[in-house]
Structure 1
Amino acid sequence: MRGASCANGSRSGAGSTDCASTFQQPGLAWRAVASVLAIIAVLGIVNNSTTLYLVGRYSQLRTPFNMLVVNLTVSDLLVCVLGTPFSFVSSLKGRWMFGRAGCVWYGFINSLLGIVSLTTLTVISYERHQMMKRPPNAPKLSYRWVALSVLFVWVYSLLWTVPPLMGWSSYGPESHGVSCSVNWVSRTANDTSYIVAFFVGRLAVPVAVIVVSYTRFAYFSTLMSTLTENAAVTILSRDPAGLFE
């Protein structure tokens, strides 16, 4: 199974099955990287855990829209817990320390949670755009819609991250040797086709939706603000019955 290989073409070397032996780059620079990763992980765990605590503690925060924020928070928290420790330890040593299986796991879980975060942001941007367009008497955002949206986010993310485990491209060590990801540098048809599809489905489409949604959101916000100001000017100009004297 290619997804279980550390090799990028021949990245693990002849007869080698250990990712940790592929790179040897210890030094002060990697310790600095490890320190930054540790700070990011600690802040991420504290901030995201605090957000989840507050939502769980105060029922008024458990609105349908905030459940989308909770999904984003969970994915960010899981990155700090399930992914960052691997790259932190490897950065301290200057080389990947968790073997082939750990490399595949790290590449998979970081890709999965990264797509979950970006797709959740896409759904949030779309819903904000819809909120601005929605008439006052229209049905509000429901928990059912949010639940289906969250389900879609995770299924969509799995559809992009499981294929490298099944043979369409693979997960392996990156060039610096302290983390793992999709096989970006290979030029085979198998890897290239996945990378092209990956960028279109994971990056281009979500970013396009976000840009269009927030552009239209800004347009509607400006329009509503202009209409409100015009209405206020009209009322002031009439000054009925000395109301503003």
Structure 2
Amino acid sequence: MGTILNGSLLYTLIRNNILRQLSTNILIGGLLLGDFIGAFFEIPFPALSLIYCRWIFTYIGCVFEAIITYFVGCSNMYMLCLISIDRYSIMTRSFQEPSGIIQRTYTSIGCVYILSLFWTIMPLLGWSSYDYEIRNRRRWFTTKLNQSSVRRRLLIERRVLHTISLVIGGFLIAWTPYAILVVIRAFFDANHISPIMDTIPALFAKTSFIWNPLILIVRNGNFRQYIPFITSKHRSQSSK
């Protein structure tokens, strides 16, 4: 499901140039790309292992799954920071995006993925390591407000702010239980933690791959307008 939703939104963003004229949409695309990578390459490993009730992909598979998880987690955190900075810049400075912002946005996304890749490969070079857990995971301006156009723009910006807040909130809700579990395992005696309690937070964290596209489909009218399976359904209903 995460692969389909994230893939559909990425396809929509790539096919429609009008969506890529806003830096926020491009940053959201970078976030969706990370979720797509996680849903496509990471989810099958624990999903199949749960079916067999054991890890079936050897140590190399465990390391690969951990690398993808770590890379996607880091890139998503950095991407959410960029989105927050982008929103702050637009809301506090000007309604007009400065020239060259689109090119700088792509550069920022590239830097995010390079930085995430750096932290991901460090355990492979001897700085810490990837290893099994109980469930085989890694170790680890001013204007007049009475103008209708300005009021409309303020409403749009407020709605975008709410959407970004939901995206950040969904990320925090999905990953906080696992983060707490990691802290407990790192600094306290974790022998009393049962395997099921060790597994549930990690599985719940993977739902973050689904929240972002669902939030964007519900909250972002621009994406809904261009998503293939939504527009085709709307056209078929209109023809009836």
How far apart are 1:105 and its partner, in Å?
Answer: 0.8
Task: After TM superposition, list the pairs within 5 Å mapping 1:17-96 onto structure 2.
Answer: 43-63=1-21, 64-96=23-55
Query: TM-score normalised to the size of structure 2?
Result: 0.55
Amino acid paired to 1:132: M
Aligned counterpart in structure 1 of residue 137 of structure 2, from 166, 180, 190: 180
How far apart are 1:49 and its partner, in Å?
Answer: 1.3
* 4+ runs deviating over 3 angstroms: 135-138, 183-187
Q: Does 1:97 align with 2:83?
A: no
Unpaired runs of 5+ residues, structure 1, are 1-42, 188-245
How far apart are 1:164 and its partner, in Å?
Answer: 0.8
Aligned partner of 1:215 in structure 2 is none
Evaluate the alpha carbon distance shift between residue 136 and residue 69 of structure 1 in structure 2; reply closer, same or farther with a 3 A threshold. Answer: closer
CA distance in 2 between partners of 1:47 and 1:110 (Å)? 19
SS of residue matched to 2:138? strand
Amino acid paired to 1:52: L
Q: Does 1:132 align with 2:88?
A: no
How far apart are 1:135 and its partner, in Å?
Answer: 3.4
Aligned counterpart in structure 1 of residue 73 of structure 2, from 114, 122, 129: 114
Which protein has the larger Cα radius of gyration, Structure 1 or Structure 2? Answer: 1
Name the one with the larger helix percent: 2
Q: How many residues align?
A: 143
Percent of aligned positions that are identical: 30
CA distance in 1 between partners of 2:62 and 2:38 (Å)? 15
SS of residue matched to 1:139? coil
CA distance in 1 between partners of 2:114 and 2:100 (Å)? 21
Amino acid paired to 1:154: Y
SS of residue matched to 1:181? coil
SS of residue matched to 2:131? strand
Aligned partner of 1:161 in structure 2 is 120
Amino acid paired to 2:12: L
How far apart are 1:182 and its partner, in Å?
Answer: 2.1
SS of residue matched to 1:123? helix
SS of residue matched to 1:172? coil
CA distance in 1 between partners of 2:93 and 2:13 (Å)? 26
CA RMSD of superposed structures (Å) = 2.0
CA distance in 2 between partners of 1:60 and 1:150 (Å)? 19
Evaluate the alpha carbon distance shift between residue 138 and residue 70 of structure 1 in structure 2; reply closer, same or farther with a 3 A threshold. Answer: closer
CA distance in 1 between partners of 2:111 and 2:43 (Å)? 25
For residues 20-57 of structure 1, what are the alpha-carbon distances to aligned partners after superposition, in whole Å with 9 as ceiling and x for unaligned?
Answer: xxxxxxxxxxxxxxxxxxxxxxx211211110122123
Evaluate the alpha carbon distance shift between residue 138 and residue 59 of structure 1 in structure 2; reply closer, same or farther with a 3 A threshold. Answer: closer
Evaluate the alpha carbon distance shift between residue 135 and residue 186 of structure 1 in structure 2; reply closer, same or farther with a 3 A threshold. Answer: closer
